[in-house]
Amino acid sequence: MQFSKYGQTFSKPSSISQLMDDLGDALHSETPVNLLGGGNPARIDQVNAAYFEVYQSLAAEGIDGNAIAAMGNYSNPQGDMPFITTLVEFFNRHYDWQLTAANIALTNGSQNAFFYLFNLFSGSFAHHKTTDAQAEVASNRTVVKSILLPLAPEYIGYSDVQIEGKHFIAIEPTIATVTHDGEAGFFKYTIDFAALENLAALKNGEIGAICCSRPTNPTGNVLTDAEMAHLARIAKQYAIPLIIDNAYGEPFPNIIYPKVTLNWDDNTILCFSLSKIGLPGLRTGIVIAAPEVIAAIAAMNAVVNLAPTRFGAAIAAPLLADDRLQELCDDTIQPFYASKAKKAVALIKAELGDYPVLIHKPEGAIFLWIWFKNLPISTTELYERLKQKATLIVPSEHFYPGLDTTTYPHAHECIRMSIAASDETLAAGIKVIGAVVRALYEV
């Protein structure tokens, strides 16, 4: 059978499909696997109990209740309107953003939102020139625009979503060694603004949007308020949107430790997800943006999905309406991951503290990013060796959409390790990593 160019691009193995396959295989494996690779959130009983309670109360409403109504009818393409109304009230209660329903669209997970947004803001554009009358007119020339990722590494899931081929430009970070909780052995990435502002593609109108995850998957880095303000200024200067991927940020799931501010204005596109609060199977993404962007997302939803799924909305709406979700995030989810990060750091230090191994300062998300300086093999090879010992991590090279990793050795020296596993699995997995890495440094 012959597939179109588009079909071939989307069906060939991609970074994300290989990772999901390995994870799926590991979940169904008969022998235990130390699963430190995936992006699944942890199972937190207290949080699941709250979801179960809503689920039961929906069931108790019987066949005339909201759950059956949500399952039995499509929403409009923008998404379940009662949930959108709840979200508008929630965000206006906690932030002074003065949103209306025209500022919010729902998607089938935020991955779905990134598919839309990156295809809206990158790829071929009609070239616009300004006439004497200051009216914008399109010429026959097309301009190919990219998504600018201001700090590599970035989320693996962005890499393959563009239907016209990969159009990303990423900037190598500035790396500084730092202390964490008073201890050495850590580093932190910051944005190299000199390189970013010198970028020819930015000056030539070949950037369609700037995007960053905050906290960042894979590193757990949190861009500072000053970095975010600087990015917002650049985005405005070049009349392009700033997309902020808030999958791990505040207010939900709030897996973020530094006290930073979340801002929104109509040049900002904020993406949220219900996945990392523990509901990835419900595939619910939330986009907050200017009405023009929301209308485009609704139109794309209509074509791709008819309408987004409504069950996540049914579960989350009552918990957002009375701020129970906020309490769960602040009092349970955030401390849970903070404690996991602490345990994982202690275990790595115990295994590899005497080796040239640095951990990115854990500032949020559900991963540690570990840098094996001058490791004699690439971390892709390390991944294979660890897999043979039933331990899964993700090697760093997949996290550099928009950067040529062949000329950037650092991109082959790190791994992403999930901290969402049980304490036993974390300890067993880190023991294996310790033994394999020590042997490599000792040859």
Ligand X SMILES: Cc1ncc(COP(=O)(O)O)c(C=O)c1O
Which residues in this chain contact ligand X in the complex, by CB under 6 A?
39, 109-111, 155, 157, 213, 217, 245, 247, 273, 275, 280, 285
> Of the two residues 162 and 275, which places its CB atom closer to ligand X in the complex?
275
> Of the two residues 234 and 247, which places its CB atom closer to ligand X in the complex?
247
Residue nearest to ligand X (CB): 109
**Burial group, residue 290, by CB count within 10 angstroms (0-12, 13-18, 19+):** middle
What contacts 199, CB < 8 A, 6 or more positions away? 148, 169, 171, 207
CB of 247 to ligand X, least distance (A): 4
List own/partner pairs for 67-74 with CB under 8 A and 24 or more apart.
67/311, 67/314, 70/310, 70/311, 70/313, 70/314, 71/310, 71/311, 73/310, 74/306, 74/307
- Kind of pairing between the strands at 168-170 and 242-245: unpaired
- Among residues 214, 218, 203, 310, the alpha carbon closest in space to that of 261 is found at 214
- The amino acid occupying position 131 is T
CB of 248 to ligand X, least distance (A): 7
> Of the two residues 146 and 217, which places its CB atom closer to ligand X in the complex?
217
The CA-atom distances, in angstroms, between 292 and each of 251, 280, 304 are 25, 28, 19
**Burial group, residue 222, by CB count within 10 angstroms (0-12, 13-18, 19+):** buried
DSSP state for residue 178 in the 8-state scheme: E
CB of 228 to ligand X, least distance (A): 16
> Of the two residues 202 and 287, which places its CB atom closer to ligand X in the complex?
287
> Of the two residues 401 and 434, which places its CB atom closer to ligand X in the complex?
401
d(CA 158, CA 287): 16
Q: Which residue has the tokens 């660890």?
A: 386
CB of 379 to ligand X, least distance (A): 19
- Among residues 88, 83, 87, 82, the alpha carbon closest in space to that of 100 is found at 88
> Of the two residues 254 and 378, which places its CB atom closer to ligand X in the complex?
254
> Of the two residues 163 and 435, which places its CB atom closer to ligand X in the complex?
163
d(CA 376, CA 399): 20
CB of 284 to ligand X, least distance (A): 7
DSSP state for residue 189 in the 8-state scheme: E
Q: Both ends of the chain: CA-CA distance in Å?
A: 49
What contacts 309, CB < 8 A, 6 or more positions away? 108, 282, 283, 284
CB of 19 to ligand X, least distance (A): 10
CB of 366 to ligand X, least distance (A): 8
> Of the two residues 113 and 328, which places its CB atom closer to ligand X in the complex?
113
CB of 150 to ligand X, least distance (A): 15
> Of the two residues 273 and 378, which places its CB atom closer to ligand X in the complex?
273
CB of 401 to ligand X, least distance (A): 12
